Structure 1
């Protein structure tokens, strides 16, 4: 039994109540999801009766594991309508909600869901395939960004990778559209895999991720850019050391490019990461409240 069949067949029906779908009109949501899940199963030659409480989870699993196939107009219409409504419920957050560093107002800090940030571009911590996370419902930034951007994002990434002809090297960057996200673009970069013991090479590669994203952002006319904590998740780069490299690299780049007018947001999700960045950016510990 594969992961999707496990989700569909489970007898433990969990009602979806977290921030991704809280307070949505349940009947409208179920109608959209039911037809959408049906279409996603149909293109795989499958049929299933999915309990209402499992529809979102099944949709996400199907989307996460969907190859970069062309999608029909109806599928995209349903998906885009669903994701737009979910974003409306979660709320969109502008760059002014990110707290500026007292020592450099071009640097900002924001804790919350990066898929709700309305900036010119957000940075995705990708893998070398550059096709998004294939693990159903995985709690990584790559999965979240691809899920809420929509299946169009994997298709565009696949076009880029097919044209490139090889996996994405560590420390480089590519830019795509953002589709159903409130930002305009997604910049994808592959961070080093440190496994808890970063070498000097890993440090240089991580710095290269930030520099490559900044160079590409400037080239594309981006004026507001939100970085996630690259490589600190399953890639195992220690949080504080990664934050030090991030702030140092971005600060030096901005110093060399004063004409860029670029504002950079360090987006964190964990309270521990926020505390690290606050200390390094010279911000008070009791800053703005966390965003949902």
Structure 2
């Protein structure tokens, strides 16, 4: 079976409808979290041996953990409104990062060898704060997000900040597709409570520890970037995309080679598709990853 094309699932997830979050109010955050905990623990399938912490941070982490393990299913409207409100307040507290305020790679590294570097931005930080039109999520083959409570992967971070609607949309897509997602393909959903409009989900290659990187794995990683660009290109209001460092976390792809593939692939695609995107952000989380990409641009 071939991967499900955009036109066969976009209407199922109301992709082109704008997500309108609830208006921000002066809600008592602890009361909201207490309500969410009570409601989530009353759902069928919820764990029954949970000890509720006394402090706010512990309770908030428990809400996230319960949503991490929650199977995709219909969501109580009041719970959803409370969750959206909480996530919007947290986003305001974290602060939205404006893509347009950042220096391009062409200005940071004037002698770089990449023809499209005037469109490139290298940024270190939390991708869930970026207001690019789309951000890229490094997903797994199930495409439903990370089910490990409070796991530090980007898949968990994006689903946790977007809200449970994101998992529900992914489940609708995967049910329609009927098979696991192939490596190197991309899907797209709305971003819900993220400052971006859309999330591109792609499954990168796995490089087991101690094995030699193969040409197949290199080509699969390049395919992730191409698939995201081509899918985003089908949606006219996507002008900026933030790429995470696909496959370089628990999937084990060597960071230096991954950065080289990422920049080369995106540069080549943009070169052959002029006037399609205005900004491409290479988002990294650690100082080490920033230095890896800096080396690619300086070489």
Partner of 1:15 in structure 2?
none
Q: 1:51 aligns with which of 46, 53, 73?
A: 53
Unmatched 5+ stretches in structure 2: 1-26, 107-111
Q: Which residue is 2:123 aligned to?
A: 110
Partner residue of 2:231? 216
> In structure 1, what is the Cα distance between the partners aligned to 2:98 and 2:40?
33
Structure 2 counterpart SS, 1:110: strand
Q: Give, in whole Å, the separation in 1 of the partners of 2:28 and 2:243.
A: 34
Query: Which residue number in structure 2 is paired with residue 258 of structure 1?
Result: 274
Query: What is the 5 A alignment of 1:164-179?
Result: 164-179=177-192
Could you report, residue by residue, the CA deviation over 1:171-201 in whole angstroms, capped at 9, with x for unpaired residues?
0000000000000000000000012432110
Q: Which moved more, 1:97-106 or 1:59-68?
A: 97-106
Counterpart check, 1:269 vs 2:285: yes
Q: Distance in 1 between matches of 2:152 and 2:215?
A: 28
Is 262-271 or 97-106 further displaced after alignment?
97-106
Per the TM alignment, residue 263 of structure 1 is displaced from its structure 2 partner at its CA by 1.4
Question: Does the aligned pair in 2 maintain the 1:123–1:188 contact within 8 Å?
Answer: yes
Aligned with residue 66 of structure 1, among 70, 73, 76 = 70
- Of 95-104 and 54-63, the range deviating more from structure 2: 95-104
Shift of 1:48: 5.6
CA distance 1:32–1:210, shift in 2 (3 Å): same
Q: 2:296 aligns with which of 270, 274, 280?
A: 280
Taking the aligned partners of 2:104 and 2:43, their CA distance within structure 1 comes to 47
Q: Hey, what's the Cα distance between the residues in 1 that align with 2:202 and 2:244?
A: 11
Q: How far apart, CA to CA, are the structure 2 residues paired with 1:160 and 1:281? A: 37
- In the other structure, the counterpart of 2:85 is 81
Cα shift at 1:167: 0.4
Aligned to 2:19: none
Q: CA deviation at 1:242?
A: 0.2
Q: Work out whether 1:41 is the aligned partner of 2:54.
A: no
1:99, 1:110 within 8 Å by CA — same for their partners in 2?
A: no
Greater shift, 28-37 or 48-57, is seen at 48-57
User: How far 1:68 sits from its partner (Å)?
Assistant: 0.5
For 2:256 and 2:101, the matched residues in 1 are separated by: 24
> Residues 42 and 101 (structure 1 numbering): CA distance in 2 closer, same or farther, change over 3 Å?
same
Matches within 5 A, 1:3-152: 28-44=28-44, 46=48, 50-53=52-55, 54-102=58-106, 103=112, 104-152=117-165
Q: Counterpart in 1 of 2:218?
A: 203
**TM-score scaled by structure 1?**
0.85
- The alignment's C-alpha RMSD in Å is 1.8
Q: Deviations over 1:243-270 (max 9, x none)?
A: 0000000000000001313310000001
> Residue 129 of structure 1: CA displacement?
0.3
